[in-house]
Copies of this chain bind each other. A is one copy, B any other.
Amino acid sequence: MAITVVGSVAFDSIETPAGRKERCLGGAATYFALAASYFTNVRVIAVVGDDFGPGQQAVFDKRGIDTQGIERAAGKSFFWEGSYLENLNEAKTRATELNVFGAFQPKIPEAYRDSEFLFLANIDPVLQRRVREAMSQAKLVAGDTMNYWIKDHREPLKEVLKGLDILLINDTETRMLAGNNNLVQAAGSVLDMGPRMLVVKHGEYGATAFYGKRPDGFGAKTFRAPALPLEEVVDPTGAGDSFAGGFFGYLASQKELTPGAFRRAMFYGSVTGSFAVERFGTERLEQLSRKEIDERFEMFRELTHLD
């Protein structure tokens, strides 16, 4: 079933211990869409500027991603510059230029309106909510957010959380959102805010799904997927969005959303996240195959399963 994703399509200049790359194609919606495209049809809602050319368009086209919802506006695309020289787990932002993204008003193409899966990537919660309401047919809605919205836009964010089935955020964001340093207690509080499932992304340590209203840390109410211990992390940018794309893309490809499907989705999320960091920008995600994805899935099983 088709997924519609709303979020940023951007240019990133990135410095990591492996080198530096100028103006890679980036943005949460881009990483998400590429990762999800190996599992199902993906439709993107975003805005870009004049600098988004045929080279960038081709990245989406090659993966069969529907881009009629990517609006072209006069001006420059969202630009981000960051460095991982000090810490591979957390980017130091050097520049953020919103450009055309600053006035983004998501427009939903008519052809997107039958999407049964909706992903609200990390954007202003006011916009997330508007898209959520306009796409009321969606049967499974997941979303992301970040510290900026949690700190300074808490009320609109809380409205978004009420309409989410699944929230995907990291450890720090979970603790900040709940105002509780104990991750399990924090996860319980976040579930009380609306989502039926919280997926906490732990970076190099994988991710944990919390579901049920009072997760007690035991048995059926949590599930943990590993991250591959990678020999060479070239560029961590987009790992979380790529996790979300693999996770949600796999779910959208399933006839039935069984508990087993959610477990496998967690593993597929870890798989696409682990590929994303192997090259700068979206390079690795652009040229994956389903066979490579499934082989790494099996490696993950081998890495974590007793027999």
Residues of A within 8 A of B (CB): 88, 181-185, 187, 202, 204-206, 208, 210, 215-220, 222-224, 226, 228-233, 260, 263-264, 267, 299, 301-307
Closest to A216 in B: B231
Closest to A263 in B: B306
**CA–CA, A39 and B263, complex, Å:** 32
**CA–CA, A303 and B184, complex, Å:** 14
**CA–CA, A223 and B304, complex, Å:** 6
Q: In the complex, which of the residues B183, B215, B230, B307 contacts A260, with contact meaning CB atoms closer than 8 Å?
A: B307
Question: Which residues of B sit under 8 angstroms from A202, Cβ to Cβ?
Answer: 205
Contact B232 A228 (CB under 8 A): no
List 15 A–B pairs whose Cβ atoms lie within 8 Å, in order of A's numbering. A183-B204, A184-B230, A208-B229, A210-B229, A216-B231, A217-B231, A218-B299, A223-B303, A224-B229, A226-B304, A263-B307, A301-B306, A304-B304, A305-B305, A305-B306
Please give 5 more A-B residue pairs, beta carbons under 8 A apart, in addition to A205-B205, A267-B306, A304-B304: A182-B231, A182-B233, A187-B229, A215-B229, A263-B307
Closest to A215 in B: B229
Q: In the complex, which of the residues B185, B219, B233, B264 contacts A302, with contact meaning CB atoms closer than 8 Å?
A: B219
- Can you list the 10 inter-chain pairs with the closest CB atoms, starting with the nearest? A205-B205, A184-B231, A217-B229, A184-B229, A219-B299, A224-B226, A217-B231, A304-B304, A263-B306, A219-B302
